[in-house]
Amino acid sequence: MGDDSAKGKSDVLGKLVPLVSVLILASTFMFSVWQYRNQQQDTLQRRKLDQLITLQSQIRTDTDALSQFPKNVNVTISNAQSLLRDLEGLLNSRIEVEPNKKNTLATDHRRISEILYTLVFEDCNFDVDREVEFSGAVFNNWPDYQDYLKDPEQRDKVFNLVMVKYIDAIEKLYDAKPDYLGRLKSNGESLVEPYRDAARMRSFEHLARGFEDHLELLNEDDKTKAIQLFHVATCNRPLTEARFGDFEPFPESWFGHCKARL
């Protein structure tokens, strides 16, 4: 009977051994799968982190390059336009890598808009034509910039940009050559110069175009005042009317500085 019992146990063990072997193999396989998946996740996380570091570094590089524009004459307007477009693409790419940060995209755009405004208003010299052009490049190539200045809370910023930067520069252009700007005419399609001065014409066009662009961001009262000041700065009512339509000019006492006018 003892032999039968021993034989029974041996039979049970004989049946369990293959089962245990299968379980061990299955466990080993599952562990290998788990380990592989973890390694894959770690690889993806490292790759994602590397991408984010690269994108953030490029965003900082582009922003720094734009900030150097007034001082670095080697940076052209086309370079600045490319940098602005590149920044937009980099911010969108960062969201593709990290979708859960999508709600920060608007904040990042606004932060750059604030940097650009400070750069234009405080660092750019509008007596220098390329720096006037830079203001236009920012206006037309960074979409959030216009939204930022349209915000009623930013009224003072766009008001100062139009009334201080643009009007002062146009007035200086007049003071340098009153017989040119004061007698400049419009035939409805283009400007007619009193005499040929390509550099002055280009400078005035860039200033006038930037003034007009930003004019649309002002409220109606501020817009009216800005047009009146454009007239005072140019001493040229026909030119002002040709660009902005009919308006009520300031009293004659505002025009004592005018040496040549239409």
Is residue 80 a contact partner of residue 66, using CB atoms and an 8 Å limit? yes
Token reading at 172: 């200086």
What was the pLDDT predicted at 3? 57
What was the pLDDT predicted at 18? 67
Residues 54-98: tens digit of each pLDDT: 878 889 999 999 999 999 999 999 999 999 999 999 888 888 878
Q: What is the mean pLDDT of residues 133-155?
A: 95
Radius of gyration for the alpha carbons in the chain, expressed in angstroms and rounded = 34
Is residue 167 a contact partner of residue 233, using CB atoms and an 8 Å limit? yes
Residue 14 CA to residue 18 CA, distance in Å, equals 7
pLDDT confidence band for 132 (50 / 70 / 90): very high
pLDDT confidence band for 53 (50 / 70 / 90): confident
Q: What is the mean pLDDT of residues 151-164?
A: 93
pTM equals 0.79
List, in sequence order, every beta strand (DSSP E) within the chain.
185-186, 191-192
What residue segments make up the domains of the chain, in order of their start? 7-124, 151-262
Q: What is the mean pLDDT of residues 114-136?
A: 96
What was the pLDDT predicted at 160? 93
